[in-house]
Amino acid sequence: MRSNLINTLIDTLQEEENTEFTEDIIEETIQEFQKHISKLNGKDAAKILLSTQNYIQRSTLKIHETFEVHVGDVCYIDFGQAYLNESGFQHFGLVLSKLNGKVFVVPMTSNAYTYAQAYDRYENPNGRKHLMRFGQRNGLNRESVLFINDCKFINPTRIIEIVGHLDVNDNFFLKIQKRVGFCLFKEGVR
């Protein structure tokens, strides 16, 4: 069930003219956000607040105002707010390609449980095929796993820091590209 605030915001989006928000709408949104944040544990609240601050500070940056990002870079990225079962907030990620001012990235995590669930042809052939073991390499402190089903194009200004690089001619990089293709187009993993 939608709240009155959400209905008002949807109506505003559907109007053809640019409507100024009233102080009431702004205040109600801030109050709802504050209530939501106060119900979370400290770590989850910090992720949301950090992501919000990153958005405020970085959303209007031009690509040339940040550092040069290359295919194969392992980066610390702010993916922004996430719905359930999406990669969001601050995670590492691997840059797979660049196109038209955006970068195509695969998010990753160092969560040991997720790493154990990841498909591996030899070590875990019954594992989850949308997860690919990346290992501990290239600026990462722990073994990590790629969330193949969460890959997406992002604005490079979401990249906070480049921490390492994987050679694009490395067989492992080519395996990642192939795995992404298989997962995206449901051809199975070989």
User: What is the model's pTM?
Assistant: 0.84
CA-based R_g, the chain, Å: 19
| Domain harbouring 125, CATH code | 2.30.30.110
pLDDT at 83 over 80: yes
84 and 175 in a single domain? The answer is yes
Whether 156 is in a domain gets the answer yes
- pLDDT above 70 covers a percentage of the chain that reads 92
34 and 115 in a single domain? The answer is no
Whether 60 is in a domain gets the answer no
Widest pairwise Cα distance in the chain: 60
77 and 171 in a single domain? The answer is yes
Q: Quote the number of domains for the chain.
A: 2
35 and 103 in a single domain? The answer is no
47 and 131 in a single domain? The answer is no
Whether 190 is in a domain gets the answer no
The DSSP bridge partners found for residue 93 are 75, 107
Residues 158-182 have pLDDT tens digits of 999 999 999 999 999 999 999 999 8
30 and 70 in a single domain? The answer is no
128 and 162 in a single domain? The answer is yes
Which of these three, 15, 32, 55, is where a domain ends?
55
Q: Domain residues for 131? A: 65-185
78 and 165 in a single domain? The answer is yes
User: CA-to-CA distance for 155 and 103, rounded, in angstroms?
Assistant: 6
CB 89 within 8 Å of CB 51: yes
Residues 31-78 have pLDDT tens digits of 999 999 999 999 999 999 999 998 988 888 887 677 799 999 999 999
Helix (H) or strand (E) holding 109: strand 102-109
74 and 107 in a single domain? The answer is yes
Which of these three, 16, 35, 55, is where a domain ends?
55
Burial zone of 13 (CB within 10 Å; 0-12 exposed, 13-18 middle, 19+ buried)? exposed
User: CA-to-CA distance for 37 and 34, rounded, in angstroms?
Assistant: 5
